Amino acid sequence: MLDYITLEKFDISGMHKIYDKWPEIADEAFSSNFKKLEFGDVDHVVFAGMGGSGAIGDAFAAILSKTKIHVSVVKGYLLPNTADSKSLVIATSISGNTVETLSILDSAKKKGCKIIAISSGGKMEKYCKKNQIDFRKVSQIHSPRTSFVNFLYSLLKILEPILPITNEGVIESIKKMRELKNNISSLNLSSSNSALKLAEWITEIPLIYYPWGLNVAAIRFKNSLQENTKLHSMIEDVIEASHNGIVSWEKPSNVQPILLQGQEDHIKTKERWEIMKDYFNENNIKYYEVFSVEGNILSKIINLIYFFDYVSIYKAVLSKTDPTPVKSIRYIKDRLDT
């Protein structure tokens, strides 16, 4: 079992301490006095961002999925060809220096799109000021990935006019984060900590199966394991996997399946989960189940991300790894900057 002395020894910069404050950070961000979105006549919303900023776009795509608004999430250099003057491009770069997102910002300006940009400063802030683009500054806390909750809840306030979620729904999500914190935070390094249990269970390469609507939580977990734990990980849609990926289990494997299930999954998706579990049981394949909280889509997403991010930190420390440094990402960025 992990103890706090070991946690502090390997988590040198104290990443876990930021996560211990996530519910409070979310509450403060949503209570901020950010000016709300004023754009009208929008039929297409494009979220542009990479890494943690890209996950923000995935989260809003899930929130907006039951509206009539067409949503695109761009993780790269190119805007959809359909982007035009009726498109709202929301460019997010927590650092403010993400080259791909800066490229999207420039393309959106040339196409005459409506634009709002969010970052902690950097090149994005300078570009927006120079070109008179609507810009909102949100502080980075520790690192881009730990700042996720600050940016997400700031954007929930900014984008409130186009979102199908009430203030009460947002408050519900924060309340459930506080409840979850009591179990998974660094203040409870005991056998009852469910995030620590999963971190201890992962000994090989995790494969996260997810249902439609919760893909953002699976993507974020994969990314967090890769960045924090420096561990290979994979994700698959549970329905699509039934048509291809399941065949991979016909041979011995060092992959560990994690079944990410929503409390309100479609009835046929629930049936698929049961069939998959039967298959694993009959073939002596050990798997781990994770369930979303009950509540609205925001509550489900943010609480799963909160849980999984803690898992990645604990797993890093259990493997004697500092979760913060990302030398390989720095290597690529340095090469791109030359």
Six-digit token string for 183: 């179990």
From the list 21, 137, 175, 333, the catalytic residue is 333
From the list 44, 227, 230, 315, the catalytic residue is 227
Is 16 one of the catalytic residues? no
Is 181 one of the catalytic residues? no
CA distances (Å), 222 to each of 19, 22, 204, in order? 18, 20, 14
Rounded Cα–Cα distance for residues 209 and 99 (Å): 31
Which of 51, 49, 20, 29 is closest to 149 using CA atoms?
Answer: 29
From the list 35, 243, 268, 320, the catalytic residue is 243
Q: Angle, nearest 10°, between helix axes 52-63 and 297-318?
A: 150
- Beta-bridge partners for 139: none
| CA 159 to chain CA mean position, Å | 18
Is 282 one of the catalytic residues? no
Whether 98 contacts 115, CB under 8 Å? no
Active site residues per annotation: 227, 243, 333
